[in-house]
Amino acid sequence: MGLGGGIVLLFALIALFSHRLPQRGEAASIPQPHWSTTARLLGAVSLGTAGMMAVLAVATTAAQRGLADAADAADITPWMPVLLVVMIGLAVAGWFLQPAVPVSASSPTAPAAPLPLADHERAVWMKSVTVARGGQIVLGIAVFIVVALSVLLLAQGIAGGWITAAVALVLIVLVASSLTFRVRASAAGLRVRSTAGWPRLEIPAAEIASARAIQVNPFAEFGGWGYRIGADGRRGFVLRAGEALEVARADGRVFVVTVDDATTAASVLAAAARD
């Protein structure tokens, strides 16, 4: 029960304070939203998690009731579908019980103008970006919770613990490989690559329709840090709040990467797309 209550408390703290994390650069002067679709989702998940842990406590207590030795308790694996239904049902209810608070989007910026270059000149722009400290803390806590949950389930002999352990292993690999990225803009286009070599993304210059510098709030717009898909369909590597490079492809897809000096990178890509 302590673990379940801790998860709910963590979600509540993230929802309350993630919008209030210190901002860098120009983002510090831009009003930040106090609520978002992500915060609403965390509230719904908190309710579902609390319900699931409550039913789990009842199931484990009932299985041990009246026994002299807890080792003689019946297997509660058949309860797993019930736990899943309770969690999903309460999460859906929690979503619709909360008011839909609109979040005003930041003012759009115009696409960058091509960087002035002579016919014989070529421009290359490179930067590295690391997940903000707040993001590292949240991701670290999330990994710890999943690992602790898998250990708890395995210690109780619940078969579902192996699934949770597998999820924890995948989560550790994903987080470790997504902390730092190198961003490169050149005549060839845009390349974003993790220092671990993967994940990576390349957008050839011929596929770039436009590029611009924008301001990004990871939690409100993308639900967190790392490789994210926003509610509006944008995708990208969102590692911190503040300045970001947004690249629109010719097919309509939009990619975002948070990085300093995004204005220069956008100009380099605009020149590459023009050529």
pLDDT tens for 227-243 read 888 877 889 998 888 89
Kindly state whether residues 189 and 146 are assigned to the same domain: no
Q: Which of 132-141, 146-155, 185-194, 215-224: highest mean pLDDT? A: 185-194
Same domain, 171 and 210: no
Does 256 fall in a domain?
yes
Residues 159 and 230 reside in one and the same domain? no
Domain boundary among 112, 147, 177: 177
Q: Are residues 166 and 184 in the same domain?
A: no
**Once rounded to an integer, what is the mean pLDDT over residues 75-83?**
83
Task: Decide if 71 is inside a domain.
Answer: yes
- Do 148 and 93 fall within a single domain? no
Phi, psi values for residue 109, rounded to 5°: -105, 155
Cβ(184)–Cβ(203) under 8 Å? no
Q: b or e along 206-239 (b: 16 or more beta carbons within 10 Å of the residue's beta carbon)?
A: ebbebbbbbbbbbbbbbbebbbbebeeebebbbb
Same domain, 216 and 163: no
Q: Is 24 contained in some domain?
A: yes
Any domain includes 88: yes
Q: Are residues 89 and 172 in the same domain?
A: no
* Spatial distance between the Cα atoms of 86 and 133, rounded to a whole number of angstroms: 35
Q: Are 246 and 255 contacting, i.e. CB atoms less than 8 angstroms apart?
A: yes
Would you place residue 5 in the very low, low, confident or very high pLDDT band (cuts 50, 70, 90)?
A: low
Q: What integer pLDDT is reported at residue 182 of this predicted model?
A: 92
Stated length of the chain = 275
Mean pLDDT over residues 51-70, rounded? 81
Of 145, 177, 209, which residue sits at a domain end? 177
Check whether 54 has a pLDDT greater than 90.
no
* Secondary structure of residue 247 in the 3-state scheme: strand
Please indicate, yes or no, if residue 109 is contained in any of the structural domains.
Answer: no
- pLDDT of 103 strictly over 70: no
Verify that 162 and 78 share a domain, yes or no. Answer: no
The DSSP 8-state label assigned to residue 202 in this structure reads: E
Whole domain around residue 204: which residue ranges?
125-131+179-274
pLDDT at 30 exceeding the cut of 60: no
Question: To the nearest 10°, the Cα dihedral for 195, 198, 199, 203?
Answer: 90
Question: Cα–Cα distance between 225 and 213 in angstroms, integer?
Answer: 19
pTM: 0.63
Nearest to 193 by CA among 203, 185, 204, 184: 184
Q: 53 and 139, same structural domain?
A: no
**Among 115, 145, 177, residue at a domain's last position:** 177
Structural domain count of the chain: 3
Contact yes or no for 225/138 (Cβ under 8 A): yes
Residue 246 binned pLDDT confidence (cut-offs 50, 70, 90) = very high
Quote the Cα angle for 115-118-121, to 5°.
85
The answer to whether residues 169 and 200 belong to one domain is no
**204 and 269, same domain (yes or no):** yes
Pick 60 or 220 by higher pLDDT.
60
Flag whether pLDDT at 36 surpasses 60: yes
Query: What value does the mean pLDDT of the chain take?
Result: 80
Is 108 part of any domain? no
**Please, which pLDDT band fits residue 225 given cuts at 50, 70 and 90?**
confident
Residues 6+ apart with CB under 8 A from 218: 132, 135, 224, 225, 228, 238, 239, 240, 241, 258
Asked if the structure places residue 111 within a domain, the reply is no
> How much is the pLDDT for 268?
93
Under 8 Å between Cβ of 271 and 117 = yes
Selected residue with higher pLDDT from 112 and 191 = 191
